[in-house]
Amino acid sequence: MQKRAVSGVVFENSFIGDGWVRKATSPRLKWGGKGRTIIDKIKSINYNPELFILDENSNMSKYDIYNTITGGKREVKKYPKESLKGWSLYSEAFFKIASENAVKQISVDVYNKFVEDYYEYHKNSGLFDRVIKKMNEGIEGVQVIDTFIPMNELEFKVDIIRNSWKKYHRLSVLIKLK
């Protein structure tokens, strides 16, 4: 496990108590296309973003801690509240290149063009709003280093994180204070 992932778990565990338990859940997005890997699926639709369909039955919920008394769910972010005055990463990428094996299967230029095309095709389709809504259903807010922030004080958007890993783009949900 990466060092940052371990420190994140330790941070999440620091909020356990008073009914709160660590029960992390992450989105599991299912994509159309044929093949086992995301690259196989993208290739099978000939890099056409119109044909790369997100299964609406995908599990999109996201939270890190759960209150066994109240039923409340919170996302935990290792950010100070002050840093959320600007856009910060909220979730993992919709899809991503994250291994040396994947790098061998698709070039940076081809993949990044697909990410850009996918974003342009869907930015006004309502898809990103639906993903954000489903991701945050039932979440009361976000616990950061120095405070708890209710959902009504936050805003979200989907954007491209350019040159993320080995120069491959990532399409991710971002968060900031209203």
- pLDDT tens digits, one per residue of 125-158: 999 999 999 999 999 999 999 999 999 999 999 9
User: Which among 72, 58, 93, 71 has a CA at the least distance from the CA of 172?
Assistant: 93
The answer to whether 54 touches 143, Cβ cutoff 8 Å, is: no
* Whole-number Å distance between alpha carbons of 47 and 123: 17
Q: From the DSSP assignment, how many helices (H) and strands (E) are in the chain? A: 5, 8
- The pLDDT of residue 77 is above 60: yes
What's the domain count of the chain? 1
Rounded to a whole number of angstroms, the distance between the first and last alpha carbons of the chain is 34
Residue 124 lies in domain? 3-177
Q: According to the model, what pLDDT value does residue 10 have? A: 86
Q: Given pLDDT bands bounded at 50, 70 and 90, which one contains residue 9? A: confident
- The pLDDT of residue 29 is above 60: yes
Q: According to the model, what pLDDT value does residue 2 have? A: 53
Burial class of residue 84, CB neighbours in 10 A (0-12, 13-18, 19+):
buried
Q: According to the model, what pLDDT value does residue 25 have? A: 86
